[in-house]
Structure 1
């Protein structure tokens, strides 16, 4: 475990990092390595003379050279591997490159390319990053957490790999999601990369391809289920409480049977949240608030149909209800604006085996008399759209093609400016192509997707396709929680983030208004979200009270930026006497 300290140089007043490494060990430490940018004095101080070419580079020059190499890669996977190798070698340079080319590289380091990375993880593995906690090692949790590379940790992203994007169970390959999310915490939010920790809980896999793969790196066993699974997670949580009390923990890509259950079980015990539930809800709410401004239809007058009542669908629903209640509606009135449709059709009170999160959105069966039924007695999406005449259609199914031409054309006949949000990712799992959605609505739809899509050309117009990327929300929210010292993460914080995100979107002008701001602005936007989250944490009594000026100063002091820091050797114990 590397322990880096900061001191003030008596001569210059500059903050200097005391480094315990030298020579090859320093060059091999990605967080501290500067490569050819080590100064001549640092080369002498750390025993690097002769280990590097004589020319002293700048960070800007290094970034320019690396970008030239990046452009020579011809596939998304090659570009991902190039960036990951750079991150393993020099994290400051990696984040500077991302910072300079964020819009271009975001789809490479996260969705959609991270899906392929998780699928092929065992075949492209080169170097360890994060912690791998396997079920057979459950009695060694203290030793494993002690093996973390850096002592101070502000945020953990943990997954068990069961529901990676729309690709399902990827087992140990799910660590790619944890690593990718934390990269966004840093490049978008300014969270110090040396204080982040990706973790995968390897409880086996039910993916037959992974189990049959001779190169699979995870525990070759079917997934552990309750009660053994719950006991393992509890042991993990207790170990985190012992070693990293107060850390922010993000539950990521857990399966439908565990995602909400774990979030609810630990949300009042840990400073934790589930991005698939709450982050997705916040960015979707922000897009709907913006869409309401563009169409002149406020949130309370929208009729929202959500296809896919899993953790993401119910998470979106919960935050929409919370927002509507904030606007003055009762909870029953708020829920009445939402219709959830699953594999067996519209959720209603005659259904069995629904989860509690789904039951609260069931429609009374007696009010559905006369509605057209499908072959198995279900009320299909097409009938829901015909009867409800929704103004908003959201898809979070992980199944491509479910927004059919018939459904969309029906909706377009009923509503002048429908808001269509096929949010499943990666790209291949999207419920419909934006090109089709624009054509089927004769260019009148407002469209946002989960994966990145280019703008659509239609009859001389260029129609923007906003990406409902959770990166708009969780990096800034995380920074706000960390910097304020908030003890818990609440739905009110996500509501605050959604309002900031919507208010930051360019004012609607004509038909072609984006639902979300440009991704290029996400760093500044994250600061505004962090500011609002910290204020909300103080309002709720979850963080120490400060003046607004003090809070802004505290926040800015915690934001990390990709620049090289001055270094000096860490004194040996005898030198301190």
Structure 2
């Protein structure tokens, strides 16, 4: 704690010496000009310092008498909040997990509503403990209960009723500049399904991670809910529900709404990065293909999940003691043919083909796709066009048939990796996991990647119990490491998108790229895969500690930026032009990314009429 305070003091001193006049800068902030006084300052969470306003600032901002007389330092405020949080943890011991999770979310949310600077500092310093509260898995619980939890508006809401008005509505957002936008239509929130307008919790949580992990300035982010209705009967009947009480728009009506929003955003903030989040599969793929070559956007469920999974798959090859070039020979069974599962397959096939110097068609031979109806083959009637490229013909599946079960496929194929993105909790049964003992790999991978925790395909404990101790395990939600006895530990790898999407967004922003290419996404995944040391990988550790998330993001962001330069689509950012970027070494690129990360310290406030 003392080290943290000393570091803060040095940063604050540097800020005062810097004399910057722009409170929106991602550099260490100097004096910030405000156009508010008195209670208006105290009610603005961006400028509010609570009891931290020094006396001179209280005088010039008209705050004397509106606060208790004692000045409490940032460090003391920080310690007081952490003490309150610790007290909450002690007082809720033994209560149901959902109750405890929501109580923790509420105390953090109240701080967010009151004092953003302190909130983000608390979040950054305690990211491993607080990310599961403001992000996966608690964010799913928050979305389920959002209409009852709603206290203060955050972000923007565009609904089907706003058709024809969005170009003017976008100017209602007070920030002059926005760098990062996360948008959802609430149609497929995590593994929870259609939550309508309550899905706004996802963009809010994602953007909090952008601030904490990537240092995106919180005044330059925008969470967006695109409310086109809901097909969730319980929500339509709920008198507290805050969204449109109508069925979801479909077809061209739906696309016209999304088109209008994208055009409006692009008109006001042409260089903003837009992340699509938790759209149902048909719209996830449709909007990705519709916009990705015209706007700076990506879909985290399709491309972010794919990148994190690919990093884990490549790490599994390393854990087996094999060179990465052996990835093309890995037999991988993917359970789940939604946007995430298909996104993983597409990126993995592209990577295998590139590494081996073969066609994508040739690289597909070792990938098997299973959905709710079993193994997908060309004999499937009403085959989803998005899944069609991965359907097996009879010659490729000797001994198996259309619709074969997971256990049948695992026993016959003996895959190196079993990867789940099904959203069906427990679908990797004891029988399935025991069948993985006969894998052709001495160290098979079992990835139970569905969120939230209840939707995980299996628990870490069951994976190590039934599939054996010599496996590599990864999950989408957090699980505790497993004690295997005799001093051995079964390591749990949380294959969380937070390892990649902040770096993808920040690297794209600072490169000035107008689109996000497959090459940029591949670079992000391969950077993450190479982050771990050989010793760590041999122990079954595929992903780094969340505590290092800012360094990870800097490395990933630098890889994305360098890929944009290589592909000649980097246009530069601010005073840094494309030629400057092209002349940077790898180390200089990482330093450039790091220097542009916002960090929360109190700025001196100067009033100006």
User: Which runs of structure 2 are paired with 1:13-28 in the superposition (5 Å)?
Assistant: 15-28=30-43
Partner of 1:7: 21
Contact 1:131 1:144 in 2 (8 A): no
Give the superposition deviation at 1:87.
0.7
Specify whether residues 435 and 40 from structure 1 end up closer, same or farther in structure 2 by C-alpha distance, changes over 3 A only. Answer: same
Q: Deviations over 1:476-522 (max 9, x none)?
A: 11111112211111121121111221222243359632111111111
Specify whether residues 259 and 57 from structure 1 end up closer, same or farther in structure 2 by C-alpha distance, changes over 3 A only. Answer: same
Partner of 1:338: 367
> Match for 2:602 among 559, 564, 571?
564
Give the superposition deviation at 1:366.
4.7
Q: Deviations over 1:143-187 (max 9, x none)?
A: 321111312100100000000000000000110000000000000
Partner of 1:447: 473
Is 405-414 or 157-166 further displaced after alignment? 405-414
CA–CA distance in 1 between the matches of 2:134 and 2:220?
Answer: 19
User: Which runs of structure 2 are paired with 1:274-293 in the superposition (5 Å)?
Assistant: 274-293=299-318
Q: Deviations over 1:358-386 (max 9, x none)?
A: 11111113544642x5xxx6221122112
Contact 2:365 2:396 in 1 (8 A): no
2:73 corresponds to 1:44: no
Give the superposition deviation at 1:227.
1.6
Scaled by the length of structure 1, the TM-score of the pair is 0.94
> Match for 1:83 among 98, 108, 120?
108
CA–CA distance in 2 between the matches of 1:46 and 1:558?
Answer: 30
CA–CA distance in 2 between the matches of 1:387 and 1:271?
Answer: 43
CA–CA distance in 2 between the matches of 1:46 and 1:552?
Answer: 39
> Match for 1:318 among 346, 353, 357?
346
CA–CA distance in 2 between the matches of 1:150 and 1:67?
Answer: 31
> Match for 2:563 among 536, 550, 553?
536
Contact 2:271 2:509 in 1 (8 A): no
CA–CA distance in 1 between the matches of 2:537 and 2:516?
Answer: 38
2:195 corresponds to 1:170: yes
> After the TM superposition, which parts of structure 1 deviate over 6 Å for at least 4 consecutive aligned residues?
none
> Match for 2:160 among 135, 143, 160?
135
Is 204-213 or 57-66 further displaced after alignment? 57-66
Give the superposition deviation at 1:354.
2.6
Q: Deviations over 1:241-293 (max 9, x none)?
A: 22221210000000111001101100011100000011001111111111111
> Match for 1:491 among 513, 518, 531?
518
Contact 1:506 1:517 in 2 (8 A): no
Give the superposition deviation at 1:554.
4.3
Partner of 1:68: 83
CA–CA distance in 1 between the matches of 2:338 and 2:36?
Answer: 48
Give the superposition deviation at 1:71.
2.0
Give the superposition deviation at 1:325.
2.2
CA–CA distance in 2 between the matches of 1:429 and 1:559?
Answer: 34
Contact 2:281 2:339 in 1 (8 A): yes
Count of aligned pairs: 560
CA–CA distance in 1 between the matches of 2:458 and 2:228?
Answer: 34
CA–CA distance in 2 between the matches of 1:301 and 1:84?
Answer: 47
2:543 corresponds to 1:507: no
> Match for 1:215 among 211, 217, 240?
240
User: Which runs of structure 2 are paired with 1:343-382 in the superposition (5 Å)?
Assistant: 343-368=372-397, 370-371=399-400, 378-382=403-407
Task: Provide structure 1 residue ranges, at least 5 long, that are not aligned to the other structure.
Answer: 573-577
CA–CA distance in 2 between the matches of 1:7 and 1:491?
Answer: 39
Partner of 2:8: none
Specify whether residues 545 and 325 from structure 1 end up closer, same or farther in structure 2 by C-alpha distance, changes over 3 A only. Answer: farther
Partner of 2:554: 527
CA–CA distance in 2 between the matches of 1:366 and 1:484?
Answer: 46
Contact 1:294 1:508 in 2 (8 A): no
Is 529-538 or 391-400 further displaced after alignment? 529-538
Contact 1:321 1:335 in 2 (8 A): yes
2:224 corresponds to 1:199: yes
Partner of 1:575: none
Contact 1:30 1:90 in 2 (8 A): yes
User: Which runs of structure 2 are paired with 1:223-238 in the superposition (5 Å)?
Assistant: 223-238=248-263
Task: Provide structure 2 residue ranges, at least 5 long, that are not aligned to the other structure.
Answer: 1-18, 93-99, 571-577
Q: Deviations over 1:128-150 (max 9, x none)?
A: 00001111122321332111131
